[in-house]
Amino acid sequence: MSELSAGLDIPDISDSSPGPVPVVAVVGRPNVGKSTLVNRIIGRRQAVVEDVPGVTRDRVPYDAQWNGRHFTVVDTGGWEPDARDRAAAIAAQAEIAVQTADVVVFVVDVTVGATDVDEAAVKMLRRSHKPVILVANKADNASLEMEAVSLWSLGLGEPHPISALHGRGSGDLLDDILAALPDPPPIVEGGPRGPRRVALVGRPNVGKSSLLNKLSKEERAVVDSVAGTTVDPVDSLVEMDGEVWQFVDTAGLRKRVNQASGTEYYASLRTAGAVEAAEVAVVLLDAAEVISEQDQRVLTQVVEAGRALVIAFNKWDLVDADRRIYLDKEIDRELKRIPWAIRVNISAKTGRAVDKLAPALRRSLDSWEQRVSTGALNQWLTALTQATPHPVRGGRAPRVLFATQAGVAPPRFVLFTTGPLDAGYLRFIERKLREEFGFEGSPIELSVKPRK
Ligand code: GDP
Ligand code: GDP
């Protein structure tokens, strides 16, 4: 990746739009007028080309605003499908911009019409499944405006004829861009969001209802009516460590209906439902008993759903010195695939260490929502892949060109490579990624995009 990333400062698209600010990527062949359009969108408050020393104008994010709505607009370099070297990197940048965007503005030069390159770009845009707004630029006059209808052939819906240079049609375009953006998050009175949602799961008899009872008893204030939230009647609000938490899908636990009808099938359905509704799961294991296959299945459900995870070894009051030594070995062996899970040793019966739960939940949720800047990510990745390149396979070693964090909750990373990577090498990268950036308590997803 070195030769590509060295001369290119990779955009921090993710960091330029913290929280809910939506991202609009402007994509198209070179010279169709992308920068001119970006200038138009940002109202020429910032010069795109000249005034940013040392920064090439490809893939630069700018803050923009229209009708009171803020968004980030990303100017990408010209997209060319078969480009090599630097141009290939720019094309890849455009693809990343598309992946991280909420809406893509695809610019075509109406004086030229749709070219093969435009058609290839359309394929790439289709793969992204992002909303695309087709712009027929350089429609400087009424007759050129008419030409725009020919661009229906691209299959991207109605072409928007504009003149980025003169401003013609740009207001309507901005209205349509705004309409395509995701709805702004609702403003909740009295706080940014409701309580964090927790799934309390584990095989029958590990102590779920005992723990819920214990937590509910320690609840100081009754928290039925937390302002601005609607709590499902099957959920329980519990106060821990000065914060209200929403334990989801706990009706069954309270009523203890599980025991009698508790076939494993229904237990696992209940687990799936609760995990799906939650942000973080507490998986209860019985510390006095051997970690079973059913325990493993619950853990797998949480990891595969991509939720943050805290493992609570319950019934710690029953653990003696011998069991403890044995348990350590068991943990090494049985939980090897999730070394990142946060573990707490508790007793729902005595209340031992139950106060450790809230801090553990917070830590894993922080990891779950953690973002690594593209700059820091690639700096680290360059060093790592230079020190330990991918092993040679059939005379060739695939290289990792660069990476971006495509999302959070859970953190998702995309690696752009010259070819498929060995599963072992991918695991190595994940392990090192965790060593460097943490992510304790959260699953992370790595996907590989080999360059065609
Ligand atoms: P990019 O490479 O896609 O970013 O294209 P630029 O924004 O740099 O524009 C390429 C050329 O097209 C420049 O000479 C612009 O002045 C010109 N251009 C951009 N938009 C328009 C337009 O609406 N009408 C006309 N006539 N020229 C335009
Ligand atoms: P659930 O099926 O997961 O909801 O488990 P329960 O809460 O019904 O607990 C099953 C059994 O384990 C009950 O007899 C509890 O009293 C017991 N139990 C739960 N937590 C603890 C604990 O921390 N220590 C001990 N010794 N027993 C516990």
**C-alpha count within 13 angstroms, C-beta hemisphere, residue 435:** 9
Nearest C-alpha neighbor of 89 from the set 56, 128, 44, 48: 56
Task: Give residue 257's pLDDT.
Answer: 47
Q: Which residues line ligand 1 (CB under 6 A)?
A: 28, 30-36, 78, 137-138, 140, 163-165
What does the pLDDT look like over 76-89, one tens digit per residue?
A: 776 666 666 666 66
Task: Give residue 82's pLDDT.
Answer: 67
What does the pLDDT look like over 419-448, one tens digit per residue?
A: 899 999 999 999 999 999 999 999 999 999
For residue 112, the ligand closest to its alpha carbon is: 1
Q: Does the annotation place 263 within a ligand binding site?
A: no
For residue 259, the ligand closest to its alpha carbon is: 2
For the cut 80, the answer to whether the pLDDT of residue 277 exceeds it is yes
User: 260 or 338: which carries more pLDDT confidence?
Assistant: 338
> Cα-flanking dihedrals φ and ψ of residue 168, to 5°?
-55, 130
How high is the ipTM of this complex?
A: 0.56
Query: Do 25 and 74 touch, CB atoms closer than 8 A?
Result: yes
- Ligand 1 centroid–CA 164 distance in Å is 7
State the average pLDDT over residues 246-266: 66
From the CA of 259, give the closest atom in ligand 2.
Answer: 2
% of the chain at pLDDT higher than 70: 79
From the CA of 316, give the closest atom in ligand 2.
Answer: 23
Q: Does the annotation place 419 within a ligand binding site?
A: no
Choose the weakest-confidence range: 190-204, 324-338, 378-392, 400-414.
190-204
For residue 314, the ligand closest to its alpha carbon is: 2
Choose the weakest-confidence range: 36-40, 77-81, 276-280, 378-382.
77-81
Task: Give residue 55's pLDDT.
Answer: 37
Q: Does the annotation place 34 within a ligand binding site?
A: yes
Task: Give residue 101's pLDDT.
Answer: 85
Task: Give residue 91's pLDDT.
Answer: 67
Choose the weakest-confidence range: 10-24, 226-240, 417-431.
10-24
- Ligand 2 centroid–CA 79 distance in Å is 61
Indicate the top mutation candidate among 205, 210, 350 to test ligand 2's pocket, ranked by most ligand atoms within 8 A of CB.
210
The DSSP 8-state label assigned to residue 393 in this structure reads B
- Ligand 2 centroid–CA 211 distance in Å is 8
What does the pLDDT look like over 86-101, one tens digit per residue?
A: 666 666 767 777 887 8
Q: Does the annotation place 315 within a ligand binding site?
A: yes
Nearest C-alpha neighbor of 417 from the set 382, 441, 373, 449: 449
- Ligand 2 centroid–CA 231 distance in Å is 26
Terminal CA-CA length for the chain: 16
Query: Do 111 and 149 touch, CB atoms closer than 8 A?
Result: no
